Chains A and B, each alone.
Chain A
Amino acid sequence: MNKFVISILGKDSPGIIAAVTRVFFEHDFTIEDVSQTMVQNQFSGIFIVSGPKLVSHDQLLEALQDNTTIFDLHFHIRDLDADDAVPTPGDCESFVITTRGPDRKGLVSRITAVFAAHHVNVTQLRAVFRGGETPENNFMIYEVDIPLSVDQKKLRQSLNARATELNLEISIQHKNIFEAMNRI
């Protein structure tokens, strides 16, 4: 069995997913996992697929390119080990960290540098620019996994200090609070 991870990038348009998944179907590939998102008008998708050994990496890529010419998509494909187990999350707690304040260059890089130094893994990252005439209403939302071994007090101190340097308000909250308040 062959297993590939394929990323797809291009301007969004109706029919992209239909065209791509048709190629998988016609080559007898199964979609094991998929995630797709839109940023402004740009489509991005990541597929993990598995299928017959006789269809190679290059053949599948060629078929994808040939069948999606009208969309002008960029593909990137890599081999995965067929036995690669789905990773299980380690002993982590999930938090939502939100920064609020004027946008500036290097903001995400300087906040995530603190995460990296504390072995905190970002699982979702979103920008919400609601500022308009009030630039302080720009939010960056980081959903993160914090290993249990991390000293949360020190992490909080580092993040608070970094946020102050960047003139940002920061809030660090366990994800359960959002779960409790928003979901039944």
Chain B
Amino acid sequence: MFTHREILSVLEMLRNEHLDLRTVTLGLSLLDCASDDIKRFQTKIYDRITKTAENLVAVCDLVGEKYGIPVVNKRISVSPIAVVAAPFGAEEMVAIAHTLDEAAKAIGVDFLGGFSALVEKGTARGDRALIEALPEALASTSRVCASINVATTRAGINIDAVLLMGQQIKQAALLTADRDGIGCAKLCVFANIPQDVPFMAGAYLGVGEPDAVINVGVSGPGVVKKAIDRMVADHPDANLGQITELIKRTAYKVTRVGELIGREVADILGIPFGVVDLSLAPTPNVGDSVGEIFQSLGLRSIGVPGTTVALAMLNDAVKKGGAFASSNVGGLSGAFIPVSEDLNISQSAENGFLSLEKLEAMTSVCSVGLDMVAIPGDTTAETLAAIIADEMAIGVINKKTTAARIIPVPGKQAGERAFFGGLLGESVILQVNNARGDNPFIRRGGLIPAPIHSLTN
């Protein structure tokens, strides 16, 4: 028997606070599909995806209905294509992206991740072909997501790859210029990419993972915000220790939802359960925003002094609540700050409270990086690469994941608006220092060695 408070608090989270299961992502190994015959390879991967994931959407809907909690997105992540399709050239890589897109469409998932390469220490033949194929592959597909890992704490930062990514991001933006460079919204450059992230665009299935695995991404920034609002209304003098305790408890509840539903979906599909990734992932809806949490905490807007410490506090409390709720917490688990995908964050940027530099500082204490940041279209590839390299350094030195998902919006300047639509949202274009200048430092290329693991000051 439950108390009516227990029942009504769950209903309230669902009805007014946007609690949902943001994604159930089926990780699928394609390693045994390898072939040097492109047609054979395409048939094998298409069949593997469509057969294994045939019932994914229906089962997620069924389980979601049983618990009254919607599973908003169902997605697929696959083994890094640069590894699986290593024998092929760039043109064939584009054809493979089309096959992945068709497979995703056939099973009714909105995104499929894993058009990926891991090049932190060097670039192999398949990696080169995939990176070369990126602009065309992203422009000519709608569901395929790409990620390139260019740095790790153990290997260092591959600046040659970073430079290349600067150029490819520019090119991807140009090929999708009519849609404000949306191709770049499906491409993440990573340091320390996790093998089990369920969230897009960074999801791929690591080579250390099983044949198939169900990973779950839970969100709920609205639930955290409303919990803080209620506490502040009831106890206006609540201190930050009390508020972090509340965030932790709230994160616990939300994570339990993911664990329960994820395990049941995995059981029905006969696929092992992997991890719950509890990340406060916003959508461009009022009440489903990470930015609003900062205002509930007492900051005028995300971006003002106090933002970094508030984010550190929030991120840590979310991780602690999640870790207590499930023994299988993985992925990114923390707070996302995607500018265009969060109405409040993009408004803060528009109002001048949030700059690229402040965003970069924030990424040193939260779970991702410069995410869905629109910058002027005339930003040079070198400057773009330098922004990415800065972001990678934060991840490498702090032994954490960082990523850059930056969109140089073709033909638009700082202060104008970029529109990506749907979950990707819209945003003001942020100012970039030295946007059009060259950058001889980055142009030097090479590998920045892995950092020392002692003398940690």
Contact = CB atoms under 8 A, between A and B. Distances in A.
Contacts, number: 55
B11 A181 contact: no
Interface string B60-80: 000001111100000000000
A174 B11 CA distance: 13
Contact of B68 (A128, A139, A143, A173): A173
B10 interface: yes
Interface string A93-127: 00010101000000000000000000000001010
A74 to B, nearest CB: 25
Nearest to A175: B2
A171 B11 contact: yes
A141 B4 contact: yes
A156 B9 CA distance: 22
A182 B68 CA distance: 16
A181 B256 contact: yes
Nearest to A95: B66
Given A98-B11, A171-B11, A181-B10, A176 B67 contact: yes
A19 interface: no
A52 to B, nearest CB: 33
A182 B253 contact: yes
A180 interface: yes
Classify the secondary structure of B's interface with A. Answer: helix
Contacts of B69: 173, 177
A177 B10 contact: yes
B106 interface: no
Contacts of A126: 4
A179 to B, nearest CB: 8
B257 A182 contact: no
Chain A interface extent, by class: 20 to 34
B87 to A, nearest CB: 46
Chain B interface extent, by class: 20 to 34
A126 B260 CA distance: 26
A178 interface: yes
A77 B11 CA distance: 40
Contact of A177 (B1, B8, B260): B260
B1 A178 contact: no
Contacts of B8: 98, 128, 139
Contact of A98 (B1, B7, B256): B7
A92 interface: no
Interface string A68-82: 000000000000000
A96 B259 contact: no
B6 interface: yes
Interface string A141-184: 10100000000000010000000000000011111111011100
A136 to B, nearest CB: 12
Nearest to B13: A181
A50 to B, nearest CB: 25
A174 B10 CA distance: 12
A73 B77 CA distance: 66
A139 B11 CA distance: 11
A179 B454 CA distance: 45
A171 B69 CA distance: 10
A174 B257 contact: no
Contact of A141 (B7, B14, B65, B256): B7
A178 B257 contact: no
Interface in B1-45: 1-2, 4, 6-11, 14
12 contacts: A96-B7, A139-B8, A143-B1, A172-B68, A173-B68, A177-B67, A178-B2, A180-B257, A181-B6, A181-B256, A182-B2, A182-B10
Interface of A: 96, 98, 100, 124, 126, 128, 139, 141, 143, 156, 171-178, 180-182
